[in-house]
Copies of this chain bind each other. A is one copy, B any other.
Amino acid sequence: MVSKSQIKLITSLQQKKYRKQEQLFIAEGIKVVQELLHSNFELLDLYTTKQDFLTVQKDKVHAITADELKKISALTTPNTCLAVFKIPKAKERVEEGLIIALDDVRDPGNLGTIIRLCDWFGVATLFCSEESVDVYNPKVVQATMGSISRVNVMYGNLETFLLQSKLPVFGTFMDGKSIYQEKLPKEGIIVMGNEANGISSAVEKLVTKRIAIPRFGNLQVTESLNVATATAIILSEFKRG
**Interface residues, chain A, with chain B CB atoms under 8 Å away:** 109, 113, 116-123, 145, 147, 150, 180, 213, 215-218, 221, 223-226, 228-230, 232-233, 236-237, 239-241
Q: Which residue of B lies closest to A224 (CB)?
A: B145
Chain B neighbourhood of A145, CB < 8 A: 223-224
Indicate the member of A228, A232, A239 with the most B CB atoms within 10 Å: A232
- Docked-complex contact A180 and B226, CB < 8 angstroms: no
Tell me the bound Cα distance from A237 to B237 in angstroms: 8
Give the oligomeric copy count: 2
Knowing A117-B225, A221-B150, A223-B116, the reply to whether A216 touches B232 (Cβ < 8 A) is: no
Q: Which residue of B lies closest to A216 (CB)?
A: B122
- Docked-complex contact A180 and B240, CB < 8 angstroms: yes
- Docked-complex contact A218 and B113, CB < 8 angstroms: no
A216 touches which of B213, B223, B239 (Cβ 8 Å): B239
* A219 to B: closest C-beta gap in Å: 9
9 CB-based A-B contacts, threshold 8 Å: A116-B223, A117-B225, A120-B223, A121-B217, A122-B217, A150-B221, A180-B240, A228-B229, A233-B233
